Amino acid sequence: MAAEEPPAPIDEPAGAPTPTVPATPDGDAANGLAGRRFWRFASLLAAVGVALALVLGAAFLSIGHSPRARHLPVAVVGPPAAAQALEQRSAGALRVRPVASTGEAARLIAQRRIYGAIVPSQGGGVRRLIIASAASNQVANFLRGSLGAATPDGAPRIKDVAPLPKDDAGGASIALLLQVITLGGSIGVLGLGRLVPGFRADLRRGVLPWTFLVLYALLFGFVITGVAAAFGVGSGADYLTRVGAVSLISLAVTASTAGLVSIIGSAGAGITSLLYFVLGSQISGGGSAPEFLPSFWHHLGQNLPTGAGVSLLRDVLYFPDASTAFPIRVLVLYAAIGALLLTLVNLRYARDRRTSAAGLP
């Protein structure tokens, strides 16, 4: 018996309208709800963008729209009266201390306690100007311009006792290195904080995030030190000291970023990127000197990992006699805070798992 053929499709007459599904009240309500959600989210996004632009614009303009020297520490080889007179003439630009000899002035410069020194002439002018461009190229140029001009007593002799290397004549390398360390630290640990809930709070597995942070910082230390040496930056300083300094800066950035990410998620990396990279690089003193910033930004910058990192690198690379206690203390504090946050989050999740397990039948 032959199989029956399926019925042929019925052709629609030419020009027949395409049937449409009538809109339902539920569909209209869903579309309206989606539209309202979109505009709420878009309005919030626009408000955040405008607020961020307002805050950063005001911050950047207050930082750099009118830079000027504020209480730059310098010395005068002479009596206290000479130092006081020079400080009064500077109208707040200089903070002057008297020293007994050029040797003492050179020692203070090597310890980064002053930026330069003046040897006055018999007529009250400047006979000799001692500067240190490695401490800050901007300060050295300021001292040249304000104190190195010719007077009726003649042009002063200018001596740079701590010059910048030829491969970094502009003095920008430290600031650039800090930007790389900061950006790499924020990106490198972006997801680490989200992994913490997967670890138990025991000795075997609870130390894994910290192990990663330390190894990551050491790797960064070796890589950045190698890159800097390839361009002739800091080649004269002790190699392991340079690696240790870069690693400590990286650890401060990565640990504090990871700790914040573990609490609030990826937004933590955004916050530290804004604070350390966008704002911190402007107030770190890497491209100028902290004394050219308003007082608030000066102190904030030196208490961020970027500002402390600039000071530490400058001391390690160019001023081995300078004290590194303050920048190291700041960097260790940020690393310790990050470690504490990671530990607390780890312990909290471990406690929650134990509580959940105890409630099971």
d(CA 275, CA 257): 11
d(CA 47, CA 101): 60
Of 12-16, 70-74, 156-160, 254-258, give the lowest mean pLDDT range: 12-16
Q: Give me the mean pLDDT over the 144-170 stretch.
A: 84
Amino acid at 128: R
pLDDT, tens digit, 9 for 90 and up, residues 121-147? 887 788 899 999 999 999 999 999 888
Of 28-37, 171-180, 338-347, give the lowest mean pLDDT range: 28-37
Domain locations along the chain: 72-163, 167-355
b/e for 263-272, b at 16 or more Cβ within 10 A? eeeeebbbeb
Cross-strand bridge partners of residue 159: 130
Joined together, the tokens standing for residue 136 give 């800050």
Kindly indicate the confidence band of residue 351, based on its pLDDT and cuts at 50, 70 and 90: low
d(CA 30, CA 23): 11
Say yes or no to pLDDT of 68 above 80.
yes
Say yes or no to pLDDT of 107 above 80.
yes
Cβ atoms 283, 301 nearer than 8 A: yes
- Rounded mean pLDDT of the chain? 82
Say yes or no to pLDDT of 170 above 70.
yes
Stated pTM of the model = 0.81
pLDDT at 355: 62
Of 1-5, 205-209, 262-266, give the lowest mean pLDDT range: 1-5
Percent with pLDDT over 90 in the chain: 41
- The one-character DSSP state at 117 is E
pLDDT at 320: 93
Percent with pLDDT over 70 in the chain: 82
pLDDT at 243: 96
Q: Give me the mean pLDDT over the 197-214 stretch.
A: 62
Angle at 219 between CA 173 and CA 242, to 5 degrees: 45
pLDDT, tens digit, 9 for 90 and up, residues 17-33? 555 555 555 556 666 67
* DSSP E strand stretches across the chain: 72-77, 94-99, 116-120, 126-131, 157-160
pLDDT, tens digit, 9 for 90 and up, residues 83-94? 999 999 988 899
pLDDT at 194: 53
Which of the pair, 183 or 336, is modelled with greater confidence?
Answer: 336
pLDDT at 4: 54
